[in-house]
Amino acid sequence: MTKPCPFCAIEPAALVYEDAATVAFLDRGPLAIGHVLLIPRAHVETIFDADDATLTALALASKTIAVAIKRALAADGLFVAQNNVVSQSVPHLHVHLVPRFVGDKLFSNGSMVWKRVRYRDEAHRDETAAKIRTALGR
């Protein structure tokens, strides 16, 4: 028996967005406060396994969520990434939406710095999710 997919059992308090095809929630090990993971509802392991409808839904939701994160957190910009197989920690297709701020040092000397941050506590996480949901009009 294979292990159940952790992304197929989303923690409701961390949800920031959902539609018929996708779900978005705060990353438990964020690169920045407000780092969101967007996944298809259907269990698809990688981009290589996804159909065009799934990829279209992810792309459209990515833009919607990116705009909301930027507005909700007064971010200067956003880093949007999608990784497959190599270094993919959860075998469920997902898009990272990471708020960026001038001088945040997410990239250092031209390299990505995967330094994780933590929310102060669960209330800080919930407040961040609520800000993004509000910016989405939800």
Helix axes 52-73, 122-135, angle to 10 degrees: 110
Q: What angle do CA 62, 33, 96 make, to 5 degrees?
A: 30
Cα–Cα distance, 79 to 41 (Å, whole number): 22
Tell the residue number behind the tokens 């259907």, with chain if given.
42
pLDDT, tens only, 69-88: 999 999 999 999 998 877 77
Asked which of 2-11, 58-67, 88-97, 98-107 is least confident by mean pLDDT, the reply is 2-11
Mean pLDDT of 29-57: 95
Q: Which amino acid is at 37?
A: L
Give the span between the Cα atoms of 16 and 2, in whole angstroms. Answer: 29
Using one digit for the tens of pLDDT, what is the confidence trace for 87-119? 778 889 999 999 999 988 887 766 666 778 889
Please give the class, per CATH, of domain 7-132: alpha beta
Delimit the domains of the chain by residue range.
7-132
pLDDT digits (tens, 9 = 90+) for 113-137: 677 888 999 999 999 999 999 999 8
Which segment, 10-19, 61-70, 80-89, is predicted with the most confidence on average? 61-70
Which pTM was predicted?
A: 0.86
Residue 1: predicted pLDDT: 45
Let me know: does 54 contact 34? Beta carbons within 8 Å.
no
